[in-house]
């Protein structure tokens, strides 16, 4: 059934945000109940509680133990504003930036930390909350979602969860971190899950969280460099490594219908695909194992056949690499809301992090061109079936 989207523009002119997160109230409660990361903690004198999730933030959290420090610039993590959990706020943000439709997803670290025996029920509760938000009268036709899987749960619970999310209205896929069942996404035990997702036309939105080991950022990072290194470099490398491992393990050939949407324009994959190819072709071990012979699909082919990229890369330079690698027809606009709010200015107004991404699309593909419109929304409508109200 086609969605009644009221005053919203024609399908090819819609603006769609495929990378936009929420922490629904039950998930916030879960984080508030914890004493180790990920957690939400209140600090004396601070206006909002702080969300502390990144492995690289653990050290600064330890330093605040017992401290009465109240200056927000010295507190770990980020303030939990209404942007994280409020539906009205999400819709306001969309209206402010001319976004017609958002495909919302739980943000990192999802349910990766939940005990195996609790993960199945936790996933059901979170996914139900997302489905309910999308079914609110103010949201119908404007919100769809990527569900969350209970990856720490036993295999039968995990596969049952795929069955559950496929039945949820407005669900278009799942968001997945790179740890998988604990051994990464090249773990053969994940293949049945990928098969089930592919069979149900559920796109996998692959998103980083763990970055790289903290030591690589050096001894000055925690005190002096904020979150810049883990977020700007750790996240994209994590995504790149995860997909390269899947490629080397043959996951894309084993599950040819699997579709991955990669966060942050694929990390560094569009830029490094040529180097990965060269390393594959010149690897004596792979050649001896017969993995480089005729019929091998190149990384470039996988990028054009099974991978979509978001356009959350903040510059036309990176975006052009993404277009060259996957094609403008596989690229989809995103914002990463509620992360990267404007600092020191009105969070209810326009966010520079959003306008940078929209500008990059214009600069890379031309203002008002069909290709730019496709990236801003048309592709997402087609690929994620956002014209169907199911």
Least gap, CB of 60 to ligand 5CU (angstroms): 13
Q: Which residues sit opposite 104 in a β-bridge?
A: 20, 145
Rank residues 120 and 177 by Cβ distance to ligand 5CU and give the closer one.
Answer: 177
Shortest separation between residue 389's beta carbon and ligand 5CU, angstroms: 28
Q: Which CB sits closer to ligand 5CU, 12 or 72?
A: 72
By DSSP bridging, strand 171-176 and strand 143-148 are: parallel
CB of 78 to ligand 5CU, least distance (A): 6
> How is residue 275 written in tokens?
């180097």
Specify the 3-state DSSP secondary structure of 104.
strand
Which of 170/227 has CB closer to ligand 5CU? 227
Residue 21 Cβ vs ligand 5CU, minimum distance, rounded to whole Å = 6
**Contact characters 8-47, ligand 5CU, x per CB under 6 A:** ----------------------------------------
Nearer to ligand 5CU, 54 or 221 (CB): 54
* Residues 204-243 as x/- pattern, contact with ligand 5CU by CB under 6 A: -----------------------x---x------------
Give the nearer residue to ligand 5CU in terms of CB position, either 210 or 247.
210
- Between 40 and 107, name the residue whose CB sits nearer to ligand 5CU: 107
The pair of structure tokens assigned to 336 is 């990463």
Question: Smallest distance, Å, CB 279 to ligand 5CU?
Answer: 29
- Quickly list H helices, 269-344: 269-281, 284-288, 299-305, 316-326
Nearest-approach distance from CB 308 to ligand 5CU, in angstroms: 17
Site for ligand 5CU in 309-348 (CB under 6 A): 336, 339
Interface positions, 43-82, toward ligand 5CU (CB under 6 A): 53-54
**Shortest Cβ distance from residue 339 to ligand 5CU (Å)?**
3
Residue reference for tokens 């020191």:
344
Please state, in angstroms and as integers, the Cα–Cα distance from residue 112 to each residue in 73, 120, 145, 168, following that order: 28, 12, 19, 22
For residue 189, the number of C-alpha atoms closer than 13 Å in the C-beta half-sphere is 13
Cβ at position 54, least distance to ligand 5CU in Å: 5
Give the Cα separation of 371 and 361 in Å (integer): 9
Residues 333 and 378 sit within 8 Å (Cβ to Cβ): no
Helices (H), 97-234: 116-135, 155-166, 191-199, 221-224, 228-229
Pick from 302, 326, 331, 105: nearest CA to 202: 105
Say if residue 213 is exposed, middle or buried (CB neighbours under 10 Å; 0-12, 13-18, 19+): exposed
DSSP assignments along 339-358, one per residue = SSPPSSS-TTS--HHHHHHH
Applying CB under 6 A, among 107, 171, 262, 386 the residue interacting with ligand 5CU is 107
User: Which residue, 173, 188, 180, 191, is CA-closest to 153?
Assistant: 180
Which residues touch 199 (CB under 8 Å, ≥6 apart)?
A: 257
Q: Is 57 or 158 the residue whose CB approaches ligand 5CU more closely?
A: 57
Q: How many residues bind ligand 5CU (CB under 6 A)?
A: 8
Identify which of residues 79 and 250 has a Cβ nearer to ligand 5CU in the complex: 79
Report the residue number, 259 or 337, with the smaller CB distance to ligand 5CU: 337
Q: Which is nearer to ligand 5CU, 77 or 270 (CB)?
A: 77
Chosen residue from 108, 152, 178, 214 binding ligand 5CU by CB under 6 A: 108
Longest dimension (CA), the chain: 65
Contact 7, 323 (CB under 8 A): no
Question: x/- contact string, 159-198, with ligand 5CU (CB under 6 A)?
Answer: ----------------------------------------
| Residue, CB closest to ligand 5CU | 339
List contacts with ligand 5CU (CB under 6 A).
53-54, 107-108, 227, 231, 336, 339
């Amino acid at each position: 059934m086609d969605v009644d989207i009221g005053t919203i523009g024609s399908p090819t002119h819609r603006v769609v945000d495929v990378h936009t997160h929420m922490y629904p109230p039950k998930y916030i409660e879960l984080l508030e109940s914890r004493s180790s990361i990920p957690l939400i903690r209140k600090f004396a004198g601070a206006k909002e509680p702080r969300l502390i999730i990144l492995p690289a933030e653990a050290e600064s959290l330890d330093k605040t133990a017992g401290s009465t420090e109240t200056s927000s610039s010295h507190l770990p993590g980020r303030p939990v504003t209404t942007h994280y959990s409020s539906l009205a706020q999400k819709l306001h943000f969309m209206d402010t930036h001319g976004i017609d439709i958002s495909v919302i997803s739980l943000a990192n670290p999802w349910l990766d930390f939940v005990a195996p025996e609790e993960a199945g029920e936790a996933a059901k509760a979170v996914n139900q909350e997302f489905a309910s938000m999308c079914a609110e009268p103010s949201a119908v036709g404007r919100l769809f979602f990527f569900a969350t899987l209970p990856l720490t749960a036993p295999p039968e619970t995990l596969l049952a969860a795929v069955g559950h999310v496929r039945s949820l209205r407005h669900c278009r896929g799942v968001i997945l971190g790179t740890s998988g069942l604990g051994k990464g996404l090249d773990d053969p035990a994940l293949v049945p899950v990928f098969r089930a997702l592919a069979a149900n036309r559920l796109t996998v939105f692959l998103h980083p969280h763990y970055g790289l080991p903290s030591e690589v950022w050096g001894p000055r990072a925690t005190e002096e460099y904020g979150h810049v290194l883990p977020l700007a470099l750790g996240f994209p490398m994590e995504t790149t490594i995860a997909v390269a491992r899947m490629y080397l393990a043959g996951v894309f050939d084993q599950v040819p219908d699997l579709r991955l949407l990669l966060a942050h324009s694929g990390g560094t994959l569009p830029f490094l695909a040529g180097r990965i190819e060269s390393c594959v072709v010149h690897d004596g071990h792979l050649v001896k194992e017969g993995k480089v012979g005729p019929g091998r699909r190149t990384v470039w082919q996988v990028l054009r056949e099974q991978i979509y990229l978001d356009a959350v890369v903040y510059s036309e330079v990176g975006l052009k690499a993404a277009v060259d690698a996957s094609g403008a027809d596989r690229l989809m606009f995103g914002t990463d809301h509620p992360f990267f709010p404007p600092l020191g200015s009105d969070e209810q107004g326009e966010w520079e992090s959003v306008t940078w991404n929209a500008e990059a699309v214009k600069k890379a593909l031309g203002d008002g061109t069909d290709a730019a419109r496709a990236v801003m929304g048309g592709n997402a409508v087609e690929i994620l079936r956002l014209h169907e109200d199911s």
